[in-house]
Amino acid sequence: MTDTTVTPPTDGYVRDDTLLPRWQMSPLTKRRWANFKANKRGYWSLWTIGTLVFLSLFAEFIANDKPLMLKYENEWYFPVLIAYPETEFGGVFETEAVYSSSAVKEMIRDGDGWMIWPLIPFSFDTIDLETEGAVPEAPSSRHWLGTDDVARDVTARIIYGFRLSVLFGISLTFFSAIIGITVGATQGYFGGLIDLFGQRLVEIWAGLPVLFLIIILTSLIEPNPVALLLLLLLFNWMALVAVVRAEFLRTRNFDYVNAAKALGEKDFTIMTRYVLPNAMVATLTYLPFLLNGSITTLTSLDFLGFGLPAGYPSLGELLAQGKANIQAPWLGLAGFFTLSIMLTLLVFVGEAVRDAFDPRRSAT
């Protein structure tokens, strides 16, 4: 094979466009994206879960006990966005109007008005006072998936619960990844004593009985999503340390790292720009599964009653209700299917990501 090199133009003339930076997807990224798409199941799972997450971000517009908009005496109101006191519509209370009550409905009708309701006219914490049967109520045209034991609409709770689970899972995964990568990178890059002590710390930390500690700690503090996130983060960041550390240990002796040092690059630049991209393959392959783990952790805590306090829409709490009300199988089934579909889709996405980064696979 001969070297195909171009003799430099003798007059020093350089085409103008070679001076302009051109952005393009690197061939490697292109090949990976093609590999990802080649896994049809993972590709469609990504679209499905992406659409569901996107829709759930607008849960307030899908399931709410306030109308999307209403017209009252020739004026427009947007109760979903703005809280109006009942006095606005000629009522007596200065608190926010309860639009589902017959009194408010009547007032608006009297003012030549009308309301547009969301698809599901209940929020996750709306207690349906007008329900007729005993709670938990079986699925009906009013409550598609029935109600739970305090007459709250299960569909609405699932929509909000899904959003909370996913957002919580994503934040937990994101912050765990950041801490894990930082620790792993530092240990692997510098090696020596830093690695020795870092690794022992990680081992001891990982040996703590996490579940008991979390149960004890959640009983000490008033749990809210942020507090719970920080608490879980304390014990969740070790997952990526091992892979990132191994990758850094391997790469730090490569010639291009030495070349970068000889150029005078700072350690931080070498770590982030030269070495980290190698570790990202292992990391990205891991992330969907880490996300799954995070969601499961929150759900199990909620199921045991040590997670989010009452009032938050929680899938774990739905499962717990299903267990307590075995005569109302729609509770357990709804929780089960929501979780299993969500986790399965994420695993499928994870598999496709793994395929995408598999160097032995070529896009066909």
Partner 1 sequence: MSDRILDMNDLSVAFRGNEVVHNVSFHIDRGETVSLVGESGSGKSVTALSVMQLLPYQYASHPGGSILVDGQEVVGAPEEYMLKIRGAQVGMVFQEPMTSLNPLHHIEKQIGEILYVHQGLGIREARERTLELLELVGLQRAEERLRAYPHELSGGQRQRVMIAMALANEPDLLIADEPTTALDVTIQAQILNLLNDLKQRLDMALLLITHDLSVVRKMSDRVCVMTDGNLVEQGVTAQIFSNPQHDYTKHLLAAEPSGDPVSAAPDAQVVMAANGVSVVFDLAKGLFASKRVLRAVDNVTIAIRQGQTLGIVGESGSGKTTLAMALLRLTASEGDIRLHDTSIQGLKSEALRPLRNKIQIVFQDPYGSLPPRLSVNQIIEAGLKIHEPEMTALQRRKAVVDALLEVGMDPDAQDRYPHEFSGGQRQRIAIARAIILRPEIIVLDEPTSALDVSIQAQIIDLLRDLQHRYQLAYLFISHDLKVVRALAHQLVVMKDGNIVEQGPSEQIFSSPKSWYTKALMTAAFDLETTDQNDID
Query: Which part of the chain contacts partner 1 (CB under 8 A), choosing from 199-207, 236-244, 260-268, 317-325?
Result: 260-268
Stretch that binds partner 1, among 37-45, 106-114, 209-217, 257-265 (CB under 8 A): 257-265
DSSP 128-188: -TT--SPSSPPP-SSSTT-B-TTSBBHHHHHHHHHHHHHHHHHHHHHHHHHHHHHHHHHHH
- Answer yes or no whether residue 27 interacts with partner 1 by CB under 8 A: yes
Give me the least distance between CB of 259 and partner 1, in Å please.
6
Of the two residues 102 and 253, which places its CB atom closer to partner 1 in the complex?
253
Q: Is residue 141 at the binding interface for partner 1, with CB under 8 A as the rule? A: no
CB atoms within 10 A of CB 129: 9
Residue 360 binds to partner 1 (criterion: CB under 8 A) = no
Smallest separation (angstroms) from partner 1 to the CB of 28 = 7
* Contact status: 256 vs partner 1 (CB under 8 A): yes
Q: How far is the CB of 25 from partner 1 (least distance, A)?
A: 11
DSSP 282: H
Is-contact 240 180, C-beta < 8 A?
yes
Nearest to partner 1 of 130, 255 (CB atom): 255
Provide, rounded to whole angstroms, the least separation between the CB of residue 11 and partner 1. 11
Considering the rule CB under 8 A, would residue 94 count as an interface residue with partner 1?
Answer: no
Total chain residues near partner 1 (CB under 8 A) = 36
CA atoms lying within 13 Å on the CB side of residue 178? 7
User: Could you say whether residue 207 binds partner 1 (CB under 8 A)?
Assistant: no
57 near partner 1 (CB under 8 A): no
The answer to the question of residue 6 lying near partner 1 (CB under 8 A) is yes
Residue 264 touching partner 1 (CB under 8 A): yes
Sheet holding 114-116, edge to edge: 75-77, 69-72, 114-116
Of 75 and 267, CB closest to partner 1: 267
Sites for partner 1 among residues 271-300 (CB under 8 A):
273-274, 277-278
Least distance to partner 1, CB of residue 175, Å: 25
* Cβ closest to partner 1, residue 14 vs residue 230: 14
Q: How far is the CB of 155 from partner 1 (least distance, A)?
A: 46
Distance CA 23, CA 216 (A): 52
CB of 13 to partner 1, least distance (A): 10
- Calpha distance 334→48 (Å, rounded): 18
> Are the CB atoms for 292 and 353 separated by under 8 Å?
no
Candidate list 57, 213, 221, 259; residue touching partner 1; CB under 8 A: 259
List the structure tokens of 206. 């990982």
DSSP for 28-77 reads: HHHHHHHHHHHSHHHHHHHHHHHHHHHHHTTHHHHB-SS-SEEEETTEEE
Q: Does 33 bind partner 1 (CB under 8 A)?
A: no
* Three-class SS state of 85: strand
Give the whole-angstrom CA distance, residue 242 versus residue 199.
9
Please tell me the number of Cα atoms within 13 Å of 259 on its side-chain side.
Answer: 6
CB of 14 to partner 1, least distance (A): 6
Q: Which two tokens stand for residue 59?
A: 């849960």
Contact residues: partner 1, CB under 8 A: 1-9, 12, 14-15, 18-22, 24, 26-28, 254-256, 258-265, 273-274, 277-278
